[in-house]
């Protein structure tokens, strides 16, 4: 039987760009998720997402697994990048665009 942690590991390994968020990219359910989505969408690459509001088990377990207490969480190539503040800072500095472009290339 698959555990929630197994599900999380599978999601992270199967998606080179993955955002755990509240809501979905078209309808974010919190300001932080909205900012993260805007920065990611501005990078111009497809990304996967998991709505933690629809997945209470993931919402409960991911912070322990990631050792990161808040949402959204951006994972790129299996590594936790961070939450909203880090995503926005990286976008403003140009780092996020490079990271996302590289991850999208490896996924093709």
Q: Enumerate the known binding-site residues.
A: 22, 30, 59, 71, 84-85
| Phi then psi dihedrals of residue 24, to 5 deg | -135, 170
And the tokens for 63?
Answer: 């912070």
Dihedral over alpha carbons 66, 83, 81, 63 (to 10 degrees): 0
Check if the beta carbon of residue 30 is closer than 8 Å to that of residue 22. yes
CA angle in degrees (0–180, nearest 5) for 71-69-78: 70
Binding-site members for glutathione are 22, 59, 71, 84-85
| Cα 50-51-52 angle, rounded to 5 deg | 100
Annotated binding residues for [2Fe-2S] cluster, written as ranges, equal 30
């Amino acid at each position: 039987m698959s555990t929630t942690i197994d599900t999380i590991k599978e999601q992270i390994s199967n998606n080179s760009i993955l955002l755990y968020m509240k809501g979905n990219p078209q309808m974010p359910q919190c300001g932080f998720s909205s900012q993260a989505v805007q920065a990611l969408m501005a990078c111009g690459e497809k990304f996967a997402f998991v709505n933690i509001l629809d997945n209470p088990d993931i919402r409960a377990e991911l912070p322990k697994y990631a050792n990161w207490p808040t949402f959204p969480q951006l994972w790129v190539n299996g590594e936790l990048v961070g939450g909203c503040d880090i995503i926005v800072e990286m976008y403003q500095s140009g780092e996020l665009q490079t990271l996302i472009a590289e991850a999208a290339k490896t996924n093709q």
